[in-house]
Amino acid sequence: MIGTDARSGQGTVELPLKRGRHSGWGKALRRHYWLYLMVLPTVVYFTLFAYLPMGGVVIAFKRFNPFVGILKSPWVGFAHFTRFFSSIYFGRLVRNTVVLNLYNLAVGFPAPIILALLLNEVKRPWFKRLVQSITYLPYFISTVVITGIIINFLSPTVGVVNQIIRALGAEPIEFLNQPQWFRHVYVWTDVWQFVGWGSIIYLAALSGIDPTLYESAEIDGAGRLAKVWHISLPGILPTIMVILLLSLGYMLSIGFEKVFLLYNPNTYVTADVISTYVFRTGLQGAQYDFGTAVGLFNSVVNLILLATFNGIARRLRQESLW
């Protein structure tokens, strides 16, 4: 604050009082308290069910005894990790998980992009809404019901697919009992279930493209394919990169529920993945420490992959998650 000295008549300058460090936060909290109240349930949920349980990973380094608790269980270091790495199932589990993810990524990742580009070119609103409704519906069906539909459709006796195969004069195929068919069944039914829902993100990105770009391209004589290639795809490229990075970061993760409900001992050779192995050994086999170690290995590798691909994308395209 600027004032005047009564004795000299000269101006004097007084420094402003220092505010408390948290006064800004307090003012923002009082001004926008309703926004903080809206986000509070999400913070509580992730704190209780995502962050606090992280303390349990210490079980991976102990010979856990539920009767004495985590703290009093003896420390074994990396013994469980060594056991997993030297297991005869290690190579098969990693191979099945990676191959299934790569197959699903190669087919399932471009599918919603293609669907969104096609829907963006539809000129009749009623037809566009109809296609969207039909493709969205499978996403809202639970995984248990989806697997039940798949099992019934692929049944070698009463399944619709085998009825068609039999009508064409061929022998019925036991899709869910032959290892070579499991990956195809999993991936293509996954595309059917999630392609419509996944296209919503890309449709939203397409709606943000300036329409004048299409008008200018049309004046220059560009056709639909040229406009898609030179305007639509570049316009949604940042969104594609983000979704791709997230998908690559989960390279060692695969949907547990669907695999667990579809596989059986006959298809373990191609269907058994890390998450189902953790369930069988950790929960069904009551080896909680070993199952935690395998799950921790899976999470650490996913984190490394996500950070690696994010760094590569940032250097190549200047587009990344962080």
CATH number of the domain residue 189 falls in:
1.10.3720.10
Q: What's the total number of domains in the chain?
A: 1
Domain contains 24 = no
Q: What is the pLDDT of residues 128-170, one digit of tens each?
A: 899 999 999 999 999 999 999 999 999 998 899 999 999 998 9
Domain contains 52 = no
Q: How far apart are CA 74 and CA 81, in angstroms?
A: 16
- Per the listing, tokens 């050994």 go with 281
Domain contains 287 = yes
Q: How far apart are CA 71 and CA 198, in angstroms?
A: 44
Domain contains 272 = yes
Task: Please tell me the predicted confidence (pLDDT) of residue 23.
Answer: 60
Domain contains 48 = no
Contact 70, 62 (CB under 8 A): yes
Domain contains 19 = no
Contact 237, 245 (CB under 8 A): no
3-class secondary structure, 74: coil
Q: For residue 139, give its domain range.
A: 79-317
The confidence band for 55, taking pLDDT boundaries of 50, 70 and 90, is: confident
Domain contains 322 = no
Task: Please tell me the predicted confidence (pLDDT) of residue 17.
Answer: 47
Task: Please tell me the predicted confidence (pLDDT) of residue 1.
Answer: 46
* Opening angle at CA 68, ends 44 and 70, nearest 5: 40
Domain contains 47 = no
Name all contacts of 233-239 with Cβ < 8 Å and 24+ positions apart.
233/117, 235/205, 235/206, 235/208, 235/209, 236/113, 236/116, 236/202, 236/205, 236/206, 236/209, 237/317, 237/319, 238/205, 238/319, 239/201, 239/202, 239/205
Q: What is the pLDDT of residues 13-45, one digit of tens each?
A: 554 545 555 567 778 778 888 888 899 999 999
Q: Is 60 exceeded by the pLDDT of residue 241? A: yes
Q: What is the pLDDT of residues 168-206, one digit of tens each?
A: 989 999 999 999 999 999 999 999 999 999 999 999 999
* Opening angle at CA 234, ends 228 and 237, nearest 5: 120
User: How many Å separate Cα 135 from the centre of its chain?
Assistant: 19
